[in-house]
């Protein structure tokens, strides 16, 4: 069914002429006449008696108009309801994010966002487990691994810069490594989880080295690794945003800065959708505003609907 032709026919009946309908619809009389003729031709039924002075509905035309009038009224009501729902943005967002990212960055964003949008609620889970967004009904997932799930729309937010570091006390006792090969004689605080294999991948200028120094402590939490390193237990590799305060205060010292480590990205994922729900859109807009303020040009991928 060509809804445009149906609406044109309804306007002809309500205005009493092709000319009146054309004026209301902002089109030409010829277009209105042609569309009504096409509707009659496709249905095989004459809907209007045409005379030089007036238009009159046939019996079939009258029945047809009564039927479509209710449909068009329902459509108009649905449009008004949709418009009203767009004005009042409400609903719940289920968000999953890595523990440390939630604690150090997202917690404040959630609080600020919810004050701006009081009719939205957030159910946040901080975890480093593997998450199936679709199966678990998750709205948004922050992660620090590359997503290969074609069911999801992903945006790389910022680089997750990781570097080796140790306390001044540890380095005073064990010496400071000058090249990656020196790490073999040092103690490590190892990070091991579903997404981290516990090794250090370092580029020595020619090739990538995969190193796994001796470890007395193995953990699955970067904050714990940072705290153990501050106490002088050994060398660890954690994201700089996790350790920035300790680095600024001299509690930790960055090591081998001329030898980059394999880097990851912080990404945001949500289910692929033809139309992005308004509660998703306003949250993502708010998130990117915070990202621009903190990282500026370091922000990696920006959705089409976001303006800097």
CB 195 within 8 A of CB 128: yes
Nearest to 296 by CA among 163, 159, 144: 159
> What are the structure tokens assigned to 83, written together?
């418009």
CA angle 96, 301, 153 (to 5 degrees): 50
Burial 55-82 (b: 16+ CB within 10 A, else e): bebeeebeebbeebeeebeeeeeeeeee
Reported as a single tens digit per residue, the pLDDT across 126-181 is 988 888 888 899 999 998 876 667 788 889 998 888 899 999 999 999 999 999 99
pLDDT at 87 over 60: no
> What are the structure tokens assigned to 144, written together?
């620090």
How many angstroms separate the CA atoms of 45 and 88, rounded? 45
Q: Give the global pTM.
A: 0.64
pLDDT confidence of 19, banded at 50, 70, 90? confident
Q: What does the CA dihedral 166, 167, 170, 174 come to, rounded to 10 degrees?
A: 50
* CA 294, 297, 300, 304 torsion-angle sign: positive
């Amino acid at each position: 069914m060509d809804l445009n032709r149906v609406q044109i026919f309804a306007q002809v009946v309500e205005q009493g002429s092709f000319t009146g309908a054309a004026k209301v619809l902002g089109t030409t009389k010829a277009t209105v006449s042609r569309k009504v003729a096409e509707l009659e031709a496709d249905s095989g039924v004459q809907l209007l008696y045409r005379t030089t002075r007036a238009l009159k509905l046939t019996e079939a035309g009258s029945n047809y108009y009564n039927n479509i009038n209710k449909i068009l009224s329902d459509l108009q009501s649905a449009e008004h309801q949709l418009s009203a729902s767009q004005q009042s943005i409400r609903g719940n967002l289920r968000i999953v994010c890595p523990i440390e990212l939630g604690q150090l960055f997202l917690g404040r964003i959630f609080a600020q966002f919810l004050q701006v949008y009081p009719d939205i609620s957030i159910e946040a889970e901080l975890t480093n487990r593997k998450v199936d967004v679709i199966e678990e009904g998750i709205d948004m997932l922050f992660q620090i691994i590359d997503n290969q799930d074609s069911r999801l729309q992903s945006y790389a937010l910022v680089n997750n810069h990781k570097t080796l570091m140790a306390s001044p006390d540890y380095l005073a006792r064990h010496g400071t490594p000058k090249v990656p090969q020196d790490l073999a004689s040092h103690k490590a605080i190892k990070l091991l989880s579903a997404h981290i294999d516990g090794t250090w991948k370092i580029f020595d200028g020619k090739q990538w080295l995969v190193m796994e120094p001796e470890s007395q402590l193995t953990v699955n939490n970067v904050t714990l690794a940072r705290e153990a390193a501050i106490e002088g237990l050994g060398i660890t590799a954690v994201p700089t945003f996790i350790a920035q305060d300790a680095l600024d205060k001299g509690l930790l010292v960055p090591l081998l800065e001329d030898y980059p480590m394999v880097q990851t990205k912080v990404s945001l994922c949500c289910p692929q959708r033809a139309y992005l729900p308004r509660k998703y859109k306003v949250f993502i807009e708010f998130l990117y505003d915070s990202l621009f303020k903190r990282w500026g040009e370091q922000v990696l991928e920006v959705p089409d609907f976001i303006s800097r």
